[in-house]
Structure 1
Amino acid sequence: MSEDETRKHHYIPVFYLKKWLSKNNAKNDSLTITEFQKTPAGVKYKYKTPAQTAYGIDLYRRDDLPQSIRDVLEKKVMSIIDNEASIIHEALLENKIPNNTHDRSVWARFIMSIIHRNPERVYDLTHSFEKSMQMVSEDIRKNYGKYRNDTNPHSYQELEKQLDPFQNGYDFSLLLSNLMNDREFGNVLEHNPI
């Protein structure tokens, strides 16, 4: 797989898009998806393969993480969700309803991931998270004397030196992963027939 291919983070997984393939062009026999795009000039369409659509370059990449794990959301969260869900998806297409907790959890997690993984949602979550972290940091900086206890450094500047520069990246990755694994919403999906 080329570097460009690994940078394509699909917000609608390829396995799911494959089920929408059709022969769209009388000039050739290839199966494609019709991708519609709203432009100032009107709605335009293109024929694409599942790998060529519904992705963002580095959509889940976190530059506030160490280099070796910047793609952790794509490689360790989304890919696992998608790989497991693709098996359940095939069963559903054969009218086989998941009848055990594991399979229902896998499908519920996939549905929750679709809600949270699109570019607009990732952008909104990222900016809301960053704004919240700035507000928290500013509050701690202003009120450090009130919050400080005997185990903390004497000044806020000393505290800042001890902070992990990647902490926000870790926290955001955990936030997005937890949203896709929300137990309350998952329980609703898991325990109600499809």
Structure 2
Amino acid sequence: MSVPRKHHHLPVFYLARWAGEDGKLCQFSQPRKKVVSHRKHPAQTGYVERLYEIPGLPPEKAQGIEQGFMQRLDSLAAMALRMLEEDDPRITREPQPRSAWTRFILSLLLRTPQDITALKSGYAEEWARRIPDLETKYAAKRAPNDPATLEEHLAQRNPDYVDQWAMSLLPSLIDHEKIKDLLNNMRWLVRRIGSDAGEFLTSDHPVVMSWTLTEPNAFLFLPIGPKAMFVAVNDLETQRMIEERSPAEQVEAVNRFVAGRAGRFVYARNDAALGYVQEHMGTKPRKTLLEQLATRRRGVTD
């Protein structure tokens, strides 16, 4: 079996919703100050090579997260998205497709290159904080021929132990039961817009949400195509406010956040939004969930 090198943090099935008749979508990037656009097939963008690889393991095990977790997650999410697009009642009645879509949304909040960097660095810092106490225990039990320090001992046995530890936690973070239950129990709808209201953009940070999902007026938005957006809310009043808002205003508000929070890429069906993306790309940066957790952990321990 070939080793999958391209690990998509934005899956092909998702980006394909913006593809035109040529099978490609418009990718906006900002290599310097000027935003540039390129036509890309969904498989040619939204990935980093070996992003989820577990270092130091044999090839068949090193790709365990990508092959055994992410690919299945995305496959089930693709089916759930089709149900949403077709107003299939199974997305409401049946727990499997509903949970599949929830897991996909949570993965978008945790699987970006920024998140993986934060996950690894966060656990490296956590390990460094534990080392003094562990070194004391190691010294008390060290045999004469053992390495002088615990770090030397671990480095000899497995130099990738910290990154392996960090990456092994990613699936459990995405499958966090309490957060999954929270999103599963929200009210779901698809907000569709007409031809005269503009088009939704997406980006490498496409989820727009309130600071928490526990408040009555909490919300979560995810563009699922140029003319459709997934919406999750907690109460009927918030749902009605969203449904009654001007479609053009809704598109503008969501696009401002989606483009503003973009890290490397913004996507559209064509390059008509080039000027808009030039104005807004990267203007509203926000720490990812894992970056926020790392910051809080530092605050507690500093």
Partner residue in 2 for 1:26? none
- 2: CA distance between counterparts of 1:73 and 1:145? 32
| Structure 1 residue matching 2:169: 3-state secondary structure | helix
- Partners of 1:87 and 1:9 in 2: how far apart? 20
Secondary structure of the 1:45 match is: strand
Distance 1:49 1:154, change over 3 A: same
Identical amino acids, percent of aligned pairs: 26
In 1, Cα distance between equivalents of 2:23 and 2:62: 34
Q: Measure, in 2, the Cα distance between the counterparts of 1:116 and 1:40.
A: 26
1-structure distance, mates of 2:56, 2:7:
18
Structure 2: distance between partners of 1:47 and 1:72:
31
Corresponding residue number in structure 1 for 2:29:
37
**Which of residues 168, 177, 182 in structure 2 aligns to 1:174?**
168
Q: How far apart are the structure 2 equivalents of 1:45 and 1:138?
A: 50
Alignment TM-score, normalising by the size of structure 2: 0.54
- The correspondence for 1:7, drawn from 5, 18, 22, is 5
Letter in 1 for 2:179: F
Q: In the aligned structure 1, how far is the partner of 2:59 from the partner of 2:86?
A: 42
Report the secondary structure of 2:108's partner residue.
helix
Aligned counterpart, 2:82: 90
RMSD: 2.8
Runs of at least 5 residues in structure 1 that lack an aligned partner in the other structure: 24-29
- Distance change (3 Å), C-alpha of 1:134 and 1:67: farther
Distance of 2:61 and 2:54 partners within structure 1: 8
Q: What SS does the aligned partner of 2:187 have?
A: coil
The gaps in structure 2 that reach 5 residues or longer are 189-302
Alignment of 1:133 onto 2:160: no
How far off is 1:73 after superposition?
1.2
Contact 1:64 1:168 in 2 (8 A): no
* Aligned equivalent of 2:276: none
- In the other structure, the counterpart of 1:144 is 137
For the residue of structure 2 that corresponds to 1:22, the secondary structure is: coil
**Higher helix fraction: Structure 1 or Structure 2?**
1
TM-score normalised by structure 1 residue count: 0.81
Report the Cα distance in structure 1 between the residues aligned to 2:168 and 2:26, rounded to whole angstroms. Answer: 35
